[in-house]
Structure 1
Amino acid sequence: MPENLDKLVIYPEDYESPVSNILINRMYQELTSLYGDTADGKFPPLDFSQPKSVFVIAWIQSQPIACGAVVPLAEEIGEIKRMFVESAWRGRGVAKIVLADLERRAEIFGYCSLRVETGIYQPTAIRLYESAGYQSIAAYGRYAKNPVSVCFEKQIIES
């Protein structure tokens, strides 16, 4: 594990908790700086409390440094959402660790594949998903007509 990550732990967290709100608000600030108004990208908190979903926070001791989620997209397909790493912790492998944790949880939920959407102005996110084995796919669902969306999918369990 990269330096300083030997004490990293990941726990499920209520999406509406104060610590979740801090990370999510920072994520939206960043997305707004890249894409302008991101109001259409916000999701109801219930999306993260339904069956076969989880929102997690990565911690270093008592400091929350990253978050991510898996939510159902279809019966055997989950969707990665809310991937965010505090800027001071980027480039150290935190996102890969959070993504691997979410993939493990998705397998437990019984998903055969995971999808994720990111944007053209987030090349680091694109490289993360590609390096983790995600394949580029046509934009799906609400992203289908969004010219800045980039979508990926990864098989995690043979169906």
Structure 2
Amino acid sequence: MKVKTIKTNAKNQDFINLIHQLDAYLKITDGNEHAFYNQFNSTDSLKCIVLLYADGIPVGCGAIKEFDAFSVEIKRMFVCSERRGLGLAQNIIKKLETSARELGYKKCILETGKRQVEAVNFYLKNAYKVIPNYGQYIGKKNSVCFEKHIE
């Protein structure tokens, strides 16, 4: 399998198509909490988007956005269900961490749902540490938040 990553913006049609798949997946796993979480998933503020292609087909994506002067928040991480378990998401997260570091940030933070078991395991496997829920996720029982220092 030939794998390629590119940096792009939120207007990229491949990114938009992958986000539609991600949102459909999250609507199922988040259940009646989906509307709450979805309001924080706008792509307007995403400055660095990574797309992953396997054999020329767009199969994964991820993005970062500034959280504060020292941190970026990882958003919209996704790999198509039929391509999971192949290590493709690691290509995306490494590219996002490198981009954040090059932009002068010291850490990455993120939130995912406890019901997204694959995602929780992925972040733990990639040296992300569980932290107290931040911002809008404080008090949300389905949320688990992570950070990783990247300096």
Superposition TM-score, scaled by structure 1 size: 0.88
Aligned residue pair count: 148
CA distance in 2, matches of 1:118, 1:87: 17
Say which of 11, 17, 23 aligns to 1:22: 17
Change in CA separation of 1:45 and 1:123 when aligned onto 2, cut-off 3 Å: closer
1:81-100 superposed matches below 5 A:
81-100=75-94
State the partner residue of 1:12: 7
State the partner residue of 1:55: 49
What SS does the corresponding residue of 1:70 show, helix, strand or coil? strand
* Residue 113 of structure 1 pairs with residue 107 of structure 2: yes
CA distance in 1, matches of 2:14, 2:35: 21
State the partner residue of 2:31: 36
CA distance in 2, matches of 1:156, 1:121: 27
CA distance in 2, matches of 1:110, 1:76: 8
Gaps of 5+ in 2: none
Identity fraction in percent: 31
What SS does the corresponding residue of 1:23 show, helix, strand or coil? helix
CA distance in 2, matches of 1:78, 1:67: 16
* Residue 150 of structure 1 pairs with residue 149 of structure 2: no
CA distance in 2, matches of 1:77, 1:151: 14
Q: CA deviation at 1:85?
A: 0.2
Q: Which runs of 4+ in 1 moved over 4 A?
A: none
State the partner residue of 1:45: 43
Across the aligned residues of Structure 1 and Structure 2, the Cα RMSD in angstroms comes to: 1.3
Superposition TM-score, scaled by structure 2 size: 0.92
CA distance in 2, matches of 1:39, 1:87: 22
**Partner letter of residue 19 of structure 1?**
D
Gaps of 5+ in 1: none
**Partner letter of residue 99 of structure 1?**
I
CA distance in 1, matches of 2:15, 2:90: 19
